[in-house]
Amino acid sequence: MATTLKTLTGRVVSLTIGADTVTNCKSIKWKTSHTISPRLLPSSKIPVGWLQSHSWIEGEFNLLSLCSSIQTTHAPAISDAIIISPFIVTGETTDGLAVTYTFDGLIIQSIEKGLEGTEPVFTHKFLAYSVTEAVEEPA
């Protein structure tokens, strides 16, 4: 059975970051990181298997203004990052269906500030244990 890759379509409606709801999210993207290396034997030219490490989620989201609760509560400059629970991305597909992505064990790795043209953008790089997707069923 062939697996088809799902195309993300639509728009980001809001982010739920702990107790706060943020509606100025310009974009979000993530990937699963999974380090794989060949298992080699001295008497073989080709790998005999694969060494597979743990997997995790790496990503980033862009806000149009700085969220003070992220900076003071979840990613303070003077201490370690604190897990954000819950971290939920609410979106809407081009078909008008609601879609949510729930990240487990998310921490902010860094916050970068920049300009895209004349628009300020605050890029938040994050790490998470996992992500799950839920799509609203059509009526």
For the segment 74-116, what is each residue's pLDDT rounded down to a tens digit? 887 777 888 999 999 999 888 888 899 999 999 999 999 999 8
Q: What is the DSSP string of 36-70?
A: EEEE--TT-SS-SEEEEEEEEEEEEEEESS--HHI
pLDDT of residue 86: 93
Which of these, 74, 58, 55, 56, lies nearest to 16 by C-alpha position? 74
pLDDT of residue 7: 60
Q: Which residue has the tokens 């064990």?
A: 105
For the segment 123-132, what is each residue's pLDDT rounded down to a tens digit? 999 999 999 9
Q: What is the pTM of this model?
A: 0.81
Percentage of the chain exceeding pLDDT 70 = 93
**Element holding 116 (H helix, E strand):** strand 107-116
pLDDT of residue 122: 94
More reliable by pLDDT, 3 or 24: 24
| CA dist., res. 106 & res. 50, Å (int) | 28
Given a cut of 80, is residue 139 above it in pLDDT?
no
